[in-house]
Structure formats: C-alpha cells, structure tokens
Structure 1
C-alpha cells in the first residue's frame, strides 16, 4: 500500500495557534494580525464601550455616544487592527445607527433641544460625496491620466534638461520636478514615477551616502510638494472640508498663495541639508532626458482637459466657479469623450477618498453632538494664547504623522482644531486648519510615516537612521517655520483674518 501523503500546514504557527479551534471556513478567512493590531482591536472595543457605562459630567448622551465613536477611531487609526478605510466607513455607519435622528435607540432621551440638533442619516452618508471628495476625485483622474498617457515622465524629462550633470544641481532639478508633480498628483504616484527615472541613475553612482541622498530627495520633495495645492495630499482636503462644515470657504488659489511659498522654502532647506550631508560637490550624474510623447487622439484630449482643469483651478477668483465644481469637469469630460472607461475609474485610489470622507463625517458628528464643545471646554485654552495653541496643535500633528498615516492624523486632529478655533475669539480657524494639515504632511521620519518613504526604503539604498535623521531635521525646521512665521506672514499679506 502506498504511503499516505501528509499535508503540511505552511501557515505561520502564530495563526495556527490562534485559529485552530475555529471552523475551517472562518479559519481560512481570518487575517494574520500582529500583536500591535490585536492590542488595537481589543483596546478600541474597550474604549468604545466605556462611555456607555461611565457618566461624564456636562456631556450629553449623544456626546457620550460620539465619544465612543471618536475613541474607537483614534485607536483604530493609530494601531490599524483593520485598514484605515475600513475605520473611516465604520465611523459613518456608527454615527448613523448611534447618533443620527434615526438611531436604533434614541440618544436624546426625549429632550427636544437634543433632538433638534440630531442630524438625518443622509447628513452622515453625504460625507462620501462631499464637494471636497469631488475635488479630490478630479485630481485623481488627472493624476491617473498623466500616468496612463506618459505625461508625467515626459514632463520630468523636459524639465530636467536645464539642469547640468553636477549632482547637487541635478538633485535640485529632481526635487523641483517631483514637488511640482506632487502638487497635482498623489505623492505615492509621483514617487513611483520619479523612481522609474532615478533607479537607473542610482546604479551609476558609488554605493553609500551619495545613493542614499539622491534616493531620499524623491520622497522628501513628494511629501513637501503635496502641501502646495488642495488636491496635493489628503490632509489638505480634510482641512478644507472641516472649514466648509463651519461655513468657511477657501479657494484653490487662496490655498496655493498660503502654501506654495512655504513649500519652496522647506524644499530649499531639504536640498541644502541633503547636499551638505550626503552629496559631495564634485559628484556627477548623467540622466537620459529623452521624451516620447503619446500623440494619439485620446492623449491629446486628455492633455487639453487636464490643462483646462488646472487653469480653471488657478483662476477661480476670476470666473467664480468653485474648485469643487471644476474638479468634476475632468471626470465628466473624460468619460463622455471616452478617453477614460469604467476600468480606469476602478483604478483610481478610492480608499483614500473614503478615508477623507470618514474624517469629514467624524467632524460632522463631533460638532452635531456637542462633543467638540465638551472637549474644548475641558481645557483652559484661553490661558495659552493664540500662538501657544497653534504651536501645540502643530507639534501634535507633526509628532502623530511620523508614526501613523498623514491622513489618519489629520482626520483626528483637524476637526477638533477647527472646532476649537471657532469657539475662541483670538484665533483664525483657517490658520489653525492650515497649520495642522501642513504639519501632518511634514511627518516623514520613518518608512511607515508615508507611502513615498516606504517606496524609497524599498530601493535598499536608504538606511532607517538616515531617513529618520533627514525627516526629523527637515520636518522639525519646517514645523517651527510653519508655527512661528507663517500665521504672521499670512496676516500681513491679507491671506487670513
């Protein structure tokens, strides 16, 4: 008789021990979870339940329920027991079933004043189609089209031509191009595009600090460049959405006037630091700067639509059409002209859009239930003064964004920061929203801080201490400049106030 074949379970032992008592169907569906994620799952559930059993003075019953949701969101976004997007949509669902006017169990206790403030479920679901989401959708479809038709790489090749082969100047060119692309494309897509250009260059350079410096220049400039426009990075959209919830509107060009000069200064600081620490003055770099343009009819249509969209965004004060409305134009035009098809829409970064929507919904719930007033009232903010408040919020945003996603940090901090600013007389909500959002984008010290860092680290040209050193120095200097100088300059030039 032939020997029986023995099937060997090749799954990790930790998973086998955790799930061996489960039915086979559940066992096959159970994801591997790290100790950090398991702790996050248990801690999130415990903190979610606490406000249901502990009475907090001066906090309404709807506020208790919203605090449960808020605590769950904090733990889940920081420790990620489930994907960030899953937490975002969970927030929306919990708000509908716990604090909306159609909640499964009425949270108002029959109090007419509380019932009057309860929002309809549609108000929470509307976060998924908030005008800021539409603005970002337009940015995503332009970014996807730029990659699809090769516009990004061709622009990079053309813009690099004025820069000589001296390594320091070439790196400056790479950083400027990366920052420019990142203003209108996701920083992840921009980083991937630029590394397609840079990786062949790295192979020609001597191993060691020079390669690391060139490789670090790409994620640095991608992260910093995204600060420049509302569509450059999710924290910007979260800030604009939180302001809109308070009836405060900021245009596309207004954001650029506030952010682009700062972006360029931080980019210059990053370039100088990289040159001094990593790139000797006599190093030479040779780059292939040939461009091969796609000349099909669909490509030309995309070029025109993308150019027109960016022009309309930049001239919003002239024509008066909201940047959100303009953002929907390329979506409609490219689909109607059949330049983009259903599969192209599926390829867009929908998880990021839903993550931003979760942050908008969280801010809506915090405001509607009075949780913001309770949180703001629990600290004597007036004793700190305007600069101290801005400094504290900016520092917290920068610190959090180094260890969790930029979007998650902004989702947690921006709605509370805007609510705080609205409740105080000595601080401008626009300043607070912009400072917190930009500070979150400056958190770039680790591979886990932001996708561009992860992509750069994957090249194996960078050591974590090198990335941490550059991220801490550039990020800290940028945050100090952001807190101490920008609000004052914005006020002098009439951009806020």
Structure 2
C-alpha cells in the first residue's frame, strides 16, 4: 500500500474521497432555528420552571426543530438528545444544576432499554425471515385461497402484508410483497388497476404495523414511556388493544382501494409456488422464530417479559451460528437508536418537571375527555404526515402520558392512542418508509397516495378517537 496526497492506493485503486451531502435550504434553516430555540430557555428566565426544567426545555425545543426539518439525520438528533441530557441535566453535568437529576447512566441506559432488546429480537427474526426466504414463501402459500378474483386477490395480498408487518419490519414486508406483485404490475395495462395494486401494499403494511409492539417504532416508544411510568403492557395486551382497530381499518382500506381503482374482472395471476429452505440452519431458524412468537403470545401464561423473550432468538441464533456478525451489522440500528432517543427524552422531561410545567399552560381538565382524545389523535396524525412517525411519537408521547395524571383517562390508553395515531399517517411518500418504497416503483402518483392516505387515515383516526376507548372500556381491557 502506498499513500500519495492523502489518498490510499491498494492494488492500483484510488479510494475516492468521502463526500458530505449538501444541506438543503430547509436543513440550513433548521440548524439556525435549532440553535436559536435552544439558547432562548437558557438565556431567558421562565416563570414557574426550575433551572433543570429550563435546560430540558432547550433540549426539547432543539429536538423538535431538528426532527421536523431533518437538519441532521433523525438518529443523529436522537443520540444528540442523550448526550445533551448527560452534559446538562445529569450528575455529570458540565455546569451542575440544582434539584433532582438522573445519573448519566440513567440516560445512557436508554440505549439498552428492555424495549430496545425487544425490538432487537424482532429485527433479527425479520432479517432471518428474509435470509431464508420464509417471508416470500409464506406469502405464496397464504395467497392461494384468495386466487381467482381480482378484488379477493387484493384482499389476500393486504391481509398477508398486514400479518407479516405485525412481526416483520413494515419496510421489509413492503419490499418482500412488491417482489411478489411487481411481475403482475408489469403485465397489467397502465391505469387505475396498477395504481390500486401498488397502493394496497404500503397501506396494508402501515396498518399491520400497529398490531404488535414490534410492528413499528412508535409502538416501542409508547411501550418504553409506559414502562418508565410503571404502566407496563404485555405483548398480547397490546394486540388485544390494537388488532381490532387494525382489522377495521384494513377492511375499509381494501373496500376503498378496490372500489376506487380495481374492477372485479381485472386479470391477476400470481406465481404461488413455494420452496421452503429445508437446510439445518433454516430448520433451526423456523423453530426459534416460531417459539419466540409463541412465547410472546402466551406471555400472560408464563410471565416472562416480552423484552426477555425478544432476547432469546438473539442468543439462540448466534449460539447455533444460524446468524452471525454480518447479520447483526445489517440490523436497523438507526431505528433502535431513534427509539432510544425518545425514551431518554421522556425520562428527561419527567425528571426535570418540564411535563408538569407544560401541562400547567392549559386547563386540560376543563376540556371534555372526548375532545382531549380527539386532539391527541389529530395532532399525532397531522405531525406524522409531514415528519417521521417515530419523531412525532418521540415528541408527543411523553407529554401526552403526563395528561393522564389527574385526569379520568388511563395512561396506557393515552400511550397506545398516540402511537396508533402516528402509525395511521400515510398520505405522503415521506410519511412512512413503505410509502417511499411504493412511490419509488413509479406506479403511484403523489395525488393518489394523498387521497387514499387521507381517507383511510382519517377513517382510522375517527375510529381510534371515538370508538376504541369505548370498546376497550366495555371489554375490560384497561
């Protein structure tokens, strides 16, 4: 190896210099605005807010601006939150602050929170399903009963997509299902049927993601915030709360998309052949993955926490060498760290009393309970439409859970409602990764995605705000 002018040469190849991405005007403006809103609480005395709370407010406002403008990557903002909390409002603060503060280890612990461990196991199983072709083969087998009629076939596709998204990343599920659908899109005549079929996949993936704690990051953020307040909810408990809404929204989405885009006589013929990998490694993976899901679903019977169960496949698959270091490196670590940032943000808000101060700005107890729930849902849905649903959940859930204190509403219900509202936002290509995948196929125009997303998300939000709390109460789930 030789070096010349800072470039490394190996076997006659010059490694090109790393190019930093050029920031957009919005990102540059976001950086400036972020610095300004960060400084204001530090320089201006805010009545009723203790010094630690003022520092936390500075961090919170900075996070809002950076997440909304994406001035730096979302995950970078998440880890910046943790670092600033350690440096400003912990026992290792550069300038000590009066009052109760968490030790620095308390903020760093967010990176290994039980919810992160739960998602780690879910991600490893999801990647293993792709590695051994389990996801595509299951889709082929499950689709067979729906073949023969275009609208029934779309129902099958959406049902399978939603079911997979409950346990596999909705982004990975969308990519997998498009591998099944793309050959059909290629032979369908250009027009509404192609648009409807391409829209059905991301819509079903988004809706399916609300069904389990590992279905989407907002779910994990809600779980982490609830556990921090001593309001735990089991894997099966989450499903009992969320799956009824998932089914209602999925059926409405199928009815809306097929009536708007797909005629009953549209020709659709899929390759439904399945060839399951029967190698020893694949068989071990099937047993471990199936056992993990079974343990998650039976948590009330054996009492093992879902996060502990989530660590079982990590140990088992690595110990048997079914999966290795390369598989670990391929996991969605940015998503895990984004969730950790939200957990740390909630811890800081609660410890410094910022939540009490914010809630004191409005007489929330004077609002009708139904109106309060509607406001939470509309805020979550609206923000998640234009920024990441994970970022929205990080910002809203800690504050929303504080509303439950002193009000006749269950904290678990509040956390679940906000998380599900965030997941129902699917009107723009930037709203969710499945939307971006669908948009990248070139089969979906922004207008079609916006109309479908607003109608389906709006119906889902109305059911979430007006129907689900009543149903949960009648079934005794809360």
What is the TM-score when the length of structure 1 is the normalising length? 0.92
- The reply to whether residue 314 of structure 1 matches residue 304 of structure 2 is no
Map 1:333-372; keep pairs closer than 5 Å: 333-372=316-355
In the alignment, structure 1 segments of 5+ residues that lack a partner are: 1-26, 109-113
Q: Tell me, in whole angstroms, the C-alpha distance in 2 between the residues paired with 1:352 and 1:261.
A: 26
- The reply to whether residue 382 of structure 1 matches residue 365 of structure 2 is yes
Match of 1:491 in 2: 473
Q: Tell me, in whole angstroms, the C-alpha distance in 2 between the residues paired with 1:279 and 1:319.
A: 46
- C-alpha spacing 1:28/1:181, structure 2 compared with 1 (3 Å): closer
Match of 2:67 in 1: 77
Q: Tell me, in whole angstroms, the C-alpha distance in 1 between the residues paired with 2:34 and 2:195.
A: 39
Q: Tell me, in whole angstroms, the C-alpha distance in 2 between the residues paired with 1:248 and 1:417.
A: 14
Match of 2:89 in 1: 99
Map 1:53-452; keep pairs closer than 5 Å: 53-108=43-98, 114=99, 117-421=100-404, 423-452=405-434
Q: How far has the Cα of 1:28 moved from its partner? A: 6.7
Match of 2:8 in 1: none
Cα deviations by residue, 1:322-352 (Å, 9 ceiling, x for unpaired): 0010000000000011111101100000000
Q: Number of residue pairs matched?
A: 462
- The reply to whether residue 476 of structure 1 matches residue 466 of structure 2 is no
What is the TM-score when the length of structure 2 is the normalising length? 0.96
Match of 1:5 in 2: none
Q: Tell me, in whole angstroms, the C-alpha distance in 2 between the residues paired with 1:415 and 1:266.
A: 26
Cα deviations by residue, 1:258-279 (Å, 9 ceiling, x for unpaired): 1111101100000000011101
Q: Tell me, in whole angstroms, the C-alpha distance in 2 between the residues paired with 1:392 and 1:45.
A: 29
Q: Tell me, in whole angstroms, the C-alpha distance in 1 between the residues paired with 2:282 and 2:342.
A: 35
Q: Tell me, in whole angstroms, the C-alpha distance in 1 between the residues paired with 2:477 and 2:418.
A: 17
Q: Tell me, in whole angstroms, the C-alpha distance in 2 between the residues paired with 1:250 and 1:300.
A: 32
Q: Tell me, in whole angstroms, the C-alpha distance in 2 between the residues paired with 1:464 and 1:89.
A: 32
In the alignment, structure 2 segments of 5+ residues that lack a partner are: 1-16
Q: Secondary structure at the match of 2:97?
A: coil
User: Do the aligned residues in 1 keep the contact of 2:165 with 2:209 (CA within 8 Å)?
Assistant: yes
Say which of 458, 463, 477 aligns to 2:445. Answer: 463
Q: Tell me, in whole angstroms, the C-alpha distance in 1 between the residues paired with 2:150 and 2:79.
A: 46
Q: Tell me, in whole angstroms, the C-alpha distance in 1 between the residues paired with 2:406 and 2:418.
A: 17
User: Do the aligned residues in 1 keep the contact of 2:365 with 2:407 (CA within 8 Å)?
Assistant: no
Cα deviations by residue, 1:36-72 (Å, 9 ceiling, x for unpaired): 1111111011100111111110000000000000000
Match of 1:6 in 2: none
Q: Tell me, in whole angstroms, the C-alpha distance in 2 between the residues paired with 1:435 and 1:101.
A: 34
Q: Tell me, in whole angstroms, the C-alpha distance in 1 between the residues paired with 2:473 and 2:90.
A: 39
Q: Tell me, in whole angstroms, the C-alpha distance in 2 between the residues paired with 1:378 and 1:60.
A: 15
Q: How far has the Cα of 1:174 moved from its partner? A: 0.3
Segment drifting more, 423-432 vs 212-221: 423-432
Q: Which stretches of structure 1, 4 residues or longer, exceed 4 Å deviation after superposition?
A: 27-30
Segment drifting more, 141-150 vs 27-36: 27-36
Q: How far has the Cα of 1:29 moved from its partner? A: 5.4
Q: How far has the Cα of 1:30 moved from its partner? A: 4.4
- The reply to whether residue 38 of structure 1 matches residue 28 of structure 2 is yes
